[in-house]
Amino acid sequence: MDKHLTTTTNSIPQNEKGIHTDFTHSMTYGEYLSLEELLSAQNCLSDHHDEMLFIIIHQVSELWMKLILHETQSAVKAIEQGQLETSFKRLARVSRIQSQIIQAWDVLATLTPSEYSEFRDSLGQASGFQSYQYRMIEFLLGFKTNHVLKIYEKQPALYKELQKAYTAPSLYDAAIHSLARAGLHIEETILNRDLTKPYQSDESVKQAWLKVYRDVDTYWNLYQLGEKLVDIEDWLLQWRFRHMKTVERIIGFKTGTGGSSGVHYLKQVLDQRFFPELWDLRTEI
C-alpha cells in the first residue's frame, strides 16, 4: 500500500506541487457533487447486464431536463422584464442541452429487443410517459393538458408544483407579450387568454411576427427571440423523433409499460406545435 501511495504521489509533475491532496478538513469534489448518493442511485431490479444502461440513460436525461427547466424558467423571467439579450443566452444553452439529450438515444439504441425483453417486466407500469419534468417542459412551452396531472396525485408536493406550472405563463406567452410591449398589435383575447389551455394560432400574432421578420433592423431583438424559439421547437421535435424510432427499434409496436400505445402515441405527438406562427410565416416571407 505504501508503494502504491509513493507511485501516485510521484506521478504528479514537479511544477504541480500546489495540487491539494489532504482533504481531512476540506470538501472534496465527490462531496461537492454528492457523488456517493448519485452513483448509488442505480437500483437494478433484475440481474440483467443491460438494465444499468437503461437506468442511467433515463437518469441522465432527467438531469438534463432539470437544467432545461432551470434555464427556460429564467429566460421567461428575463423576457417578462424586457431583458431579451439575457434570455438569448439562456435559450441558446437550452438548445445545446437538447442536442445532448438527442444523442443519448443513440446509446440506448444499442439495446436490442431480445436484451430488453429479458428485464422489461421488472419495470411494472413505470414509464417515461410519467416523467413529471417532461410534463413541466411541455407546460413551459405552452402545451397544457390537465388529464396527465392525475398521474402525480400520489405525491401532493409534486402535484402542487405541476399545478403551478400548468397555470403559469409559457415561454411563448412571454414572447407574445414582448411583441405587444414593442407596440405591435396583439388581440386582447390573446394577451388575456386562459393560460391553462393549449395555445392556438392567432392571426394578430402571426402579423406581428411577420412585421418583425420583414423589418429585422427595427426589431432585431424580437427577431433573435423568434429564432431562439424556433431552435428550441426544432430540437424538441428531433428529440421526439429519435425517441419514437428508438422505441420502435427496441419494442416495435408493443403497448408501452405505462399503458400508452407506444410508437403510435409517439407518432401522434410529433404533430404537436408550440410556436405555430413562427413556422407559418416562413411561407410568406
The whole-number pLDDT of residue 12 equals 67
Contact 92, 229 (CB under 8 A): no
Supply 64's cell numbers.
438534463
Report the distance separating Cα 76 and Cα 282, nearest Å.
24
Contact 130, 158 (CB under 8 A): no
Other beta carbons less than 10 A from residue 95's beta carbon: 17
Average pLDDT over residues 107-120: 94
Average pLDDT over residues 89-116: 96
The whole-number pLDDT of residue 128 equals 81
Report the distance separating Cα 249 and Cα 260, nearest Å.
17
Residue 93 has pLDDT above 50, yes or no: yes
Closest CA to 166 of 183, 143, 192, 188: 143
pLDDT bin (cut points 50, 70, 90) of residue 71 is: very high
Average pLDDT over residues 75-95: 98
pLDDT bin (cut points 50, 70, 90) of residue 80 is: very high
Report the distance separating Cα 141 and Cα 275, nearest Å.
8
Report the distance separating Cα 275 and Cα 200, nearest Å.
9
Report the distance separating Cα 260 and Cα 102, nearest Å.
22
Average pLDDT over residues 231-251: 94
**Residue 70 annotated as part of some ligand binding site:** no
DSSP 168: S
The whole-number pLDDT of residue 100 equals 96
Residue 5 has pLDDT above 60, yes or no: no
pTM of this structure: 0.90
Report the distance separating Cα 78 and Cα 127, nearest Å.
34
pLDDT bin (cut points 50, 70, 90) of residue 106 is: very high
The whole-number pLDDT of residue 7 equals 44
The phi-psi region of residue 34 (left if phi > 0; otherwise alpha if psi is between -120 and 50; otherwise beta) is left
**Residue 25 annotated as part of some ligand binding site:** no
Residue 13 has pLDDT above 80, yes or no: no
The phi-psi region of residue 183 (left if phi > 0; otherwise alpha if psi is between -120 and 50; otherwise beta) is left
The whole-number pLDDT of residue 11 equals 65
Residue 79 has pLDDT above 70, yes or no: yes
**Residue 116 annotated as part of some ligand binding site:** yes
pLDDT bin (cut points 50, 70, 90) of residue 147 is: confident
Q: Which helix (H) or strand (E) holds 160?
A: helix 156-167
Q: What are phi and psi of 136, to 5 degrees?
A: -65, -35
**Residue 264 annotated as part of some ligand binding site:** no
Average pLDDT over residues 126-145: 90
Report the distance separating Cα 250 and Cα 54, nearest Å.
12
**Residue 232 annotated as part of some ligand binding site:** no
Based on the number of CB atoms within 10 Å of its own CB, is 281 exposed (0-12), middle (13-18) or buried (19 or more)?
buried
Terminal-residue alpha carbon distance, the chain: 72
Residue 150 has pLDDT above 50, yes or no: yes
The whole-number pLDDT of residue 22 equals 75
31-57 pLDDT, tens digit per residue, is: 999 999 999 999 999 999 999 999 999
Residues above pLDDT 70, as percent of the chain = 96
164-223 pLDDT, tens digit per residue, is: 999 999 999 999 999 999 999 999 999 999 999 989 999 999 999 999 999 999 999 999
Residue 241 has pLDDT above 80, yes or no: yes
Q: What residues does each domain of the chain span? A: 49-281
Reduced to 3 states (helix: H, G, I; strand: E, B; else coil), residue 265 is: helix
**Residue 28 annotated as part of some ligand binding site:** no
Report the distance separating Cα 41 and Cα 258, nearest Å.
22
Supply 261's cell numbers.
400505445
**Residue 285 annotated as part of some ligand binding site:** no
The whole-number pLDDT of residue 6 equals 46
According to CATH, the topology of domain 49-281 is Methane Monooxygenase Hydroxylase; Chain G, domain 1 (1.20.58)
pLDDT bin (cut points 50, 70, 90) of residue 275 is: very high
Supply 189's cell numbers.
383575447
The whole-number pLDDT of residue 222 equals 98
Average pLDDT, the chain: 92
**Residue 190 annotated as part of some ligand binding site:** no
